[in-house]
Structure 1
Amino acid sequence: MRAFVTGISGQDGSYLAERLLAEDVEVHALAHDAEPLPDVPDVELHRGDLTAVDEVRALLVDLAPDEVYNLAALSSVARSWEEPDLTARVNGVAAAGLLESALLVQEKQGRPVRFVQASSAEIFGQPDRSPQDESTPVRPVNPYGAAKAYAHLMVDVYRRRELHAVSAILYNHESPRRPDQFVTRKITSTVAAIARGRAGVLALGNLDARRDWGWAPDYVDAMVRAARADVARDYVVATGVGRSVREFVAAAFARAGISDWEPLVVVDPEFVRPADPTELVGDATLARTELGWSPTVEFDELVGRMVDADLAGQ
């Protein structure tokens, strides 16, 4: 079996590559022209830009993969406000191009190609219900969510054209591989620095924003299961438990052995987003029942593993 992965240099891409290689899948990946080549042993890397649709299409047709996982994205909601046009091209239009390419491979090879789009809870924006499931209306409130919503809807368009296309609606998922620009990694790395006496305060935005946080390898497992399911459909991938940023901070300080943490945290208006969904919690009943999937790492342990990794690196 051969798989093609975009976003290989990200948190999910690295875990997915490891998972597929462990199954003896031949893994090919697109590495962005402007970025250093990621250190992913045994993965065949191809330089390119996902927004160069024709070039990526030619590569995909040549490789003729059995599975395609589109994990590439401009992944910062904050950055999407600064570069909404780039966000639209990378997170939306490029995904549509990749779907068309996968269908072209399927038609040329005369065999099924399975496609997974890494979608996001941000497509729901300010949801009209909590928790959200696959039937929750799509109404994003930021450029990131809007671009992801376009890609999400295009998955259904191509599913109707008989491509085994899946949109995995991923809620927040973390690990020690989460890049520094994400608030969760900022929290754990700063807490570790404070514990080591190398930082004084942790500056954050909205402490009351709530998210449904899970363990990244679990979410990769859900995507693989969805790709290989008998029927292609969309799945919410989430723990079903909402936690506030404040709770994440408290768990991080607790793991670092600091109980009186509130004087060490300041709210900086610079980090408050123009529009920030306040309650995103997912109902993953469908993934549990249809895919046999369930999260394996609890919230406090997830945060703890990130803090432990940052403490070890201090």
Structure 2
Amino acid sequence: MRRALITGITGQDGRYLAELLHSQGYEVFGLLKGQNNPRSDMVQAELPFVEFVAADLQDLSSLVAALEQVQPDEVYNLGAISFVALSFKQAELTANVTGLGVLRLLEAIRMVGGSVNNPIRFYQASSSEMFGKVRESPQVETTPFYPRSPYGCAKVFGHDITVNYRDSYGLYACSGILFNHESPRRGIEFVTRKVTNAVARIKLGLQETLVLGDMDPRRDWGFAGDYVKAMWLMLQQDEPDDYVVATGHTHSVRDFVNAAFCHVGLDDWEGFVTQDPRFFRPAEVDLLVGDATKAHEKLGWKPEVDFEQLVAMMVENDLQIEAAKAGLKVP
């Protein structure tokens, strides 16, 4: 039975990936920081097959100990300070976890099991935010990076150091340059979940308005459950490589808001939405759209959930959650 260790196990990607790996017959281990992680009970109830391991991406010795304990065949590094807005306020922490954390984990793998005789395979969660102020559209694996946030800068370092360890030490190390991917498990602090949750509450009469920042940026949005399949497929190939994972379609934040409100029959939604300068970023990424041809051809991967299905899935989930909290029936 193969073993996999996942950092960021409490996030949406970690949970979908854990389910996928379990269905493939893996023993699944999740790295947790601290003894009383507030989300550990939720993950344990949802994914009882996951065994937790204590370690911290800011502490090399704990990562070495975790690898020695688990002896994994595959390591998926999904752990990060992943909220872009927060990265502007906590830039040093973001660099330390999202950037240097990758270096520490790669070094731990090199020390414990990066040899030919014990080749741990490593996946790094790179991000379309690395492209930032894009040099070309659509973006592909060779598009130059121009990050526009501390998060994007940290992800560039993580991506480049993964390539460096692959080239320097022969590690089986891959990076998935994933474009925006969402799900009902997305954290409420992210704009997509903020929108779908507010729409559900407005439909149920529990909230009056939705306050947003800039609604013009365009993103390539896909379903997280689809994207974790690409992560796994990358580590099943004969040779390690880097891949863009995207739908190839772009929509604005305004498009997302429109789709969410229309799903619940509130077509004249403008009166429910206001904009606040507090939610504007110091430097915005205006357009991201990926070309996943390489993933299509080499991995046999394609997205299955389209934009409209994704938005509907998220709104329906929030309707159920908010109605249950309030003791209401879903209309």
Same fold by TM-score, threshold 0.5 exceeded?
yes
User: Which of these residues, 35, 38, 41, is aligned with residue 37 of structure 2?
Assistant: 35
Q: 1:90-169 counterparts in 2 under 5 A?
A: 90-107=97-114, 110-160=117-167, 161-169=169-177
Task: Tell me, in whole angstroms, the C-alpha distance in 2 between the residues paired with 1:108 and 1:119.
Answer: 24
Q: Unpaired runs of 5+ in structure 1?
A: none
Q: Which amino acid aligns with 1:153?
A: D
Q: Give the TM-score normalised by structure 1.
A: 0.98
CA RMSD of aligned residues (A): 1.1
Q: Give CA deviations for 1:28-61 in whole Å, capped at 9, x if unaligned.
A: 1111216221323111101232211111112213
**Aligned residues, how many?**
314
The match for 1:175 is 183
Q: 1:72 aligns with which of 69, 74, 79?
A: 79
Distance 1:126 1:61 in 2: 41
Contact 1:236 1:282 in 2 (8 A): yes
Q: Is the 8 A contact 2:54 2:66 kept in 1?
A: no
Structure 2 partner of 1:266: 274
TM-score (norm: length of structure 2): 0.93
- Higher mean displacement: 36-45 or 149-158: 36-45
1:273, 1:107 → 2: CA distance?
Answer: 40
User: C-alpha separation between the residues in 2 aligned to 1:48 and 1:115?
Assistant: 17
Q: How far is the alpha carbon of 1:282 from its aligned partner?
A: 0.6
- Per-residue CA deviation, residues 143-191 of structure 1 (Å, 9 max, x unaligned), is 0000010000011111112111001011100100001000000000000
Rounded Cα–Cα distance in structure 2 between residues aligned with 1:60 and 1:108: 14
Give the equivalent residue in structure 1 for 2:329. none
Once the two structures are TM-superposed, the CA of residue 108 in structure 1 deviates from its matched residue by 6.1
1:118 alignment partner, SS class: strand
Structure 1: which amino acid aligns with 2:248?
Answer: G
CA distance in 2, matches of 1:74, 1:223: 19
Deviation at 1:109, TM superposition (A): 7.7
Which residues of structure 2 form unaligned runs of 5+?
Answer: 323-331
Instruction: List 4+ stretches of structure 1 deviating above 4 A.
Output: none
Separation in 2, partners of 1:62, 1:238: 35
1:49 aligns with 2:51: no
Is residue 92–residue 148 contact of structure 1 (8 Å, CA) maintained in 2? yes
Deviations 1:10-34 (A, max 9, x none): 0000001111111110111111216
Secondary structure of 2:144's aligned partner: coil
Letter in 1 for 2:192: T
Partner of 2:315: 307
Q: Does 1:240 align with 2:248?
A: yes
| Distance in 1 between residues matched to 2:22 and 2:243, nearest whole Å | 24
Give the conservation status (yes or no) of the 8 Å contact 1:2–1:28.
yes
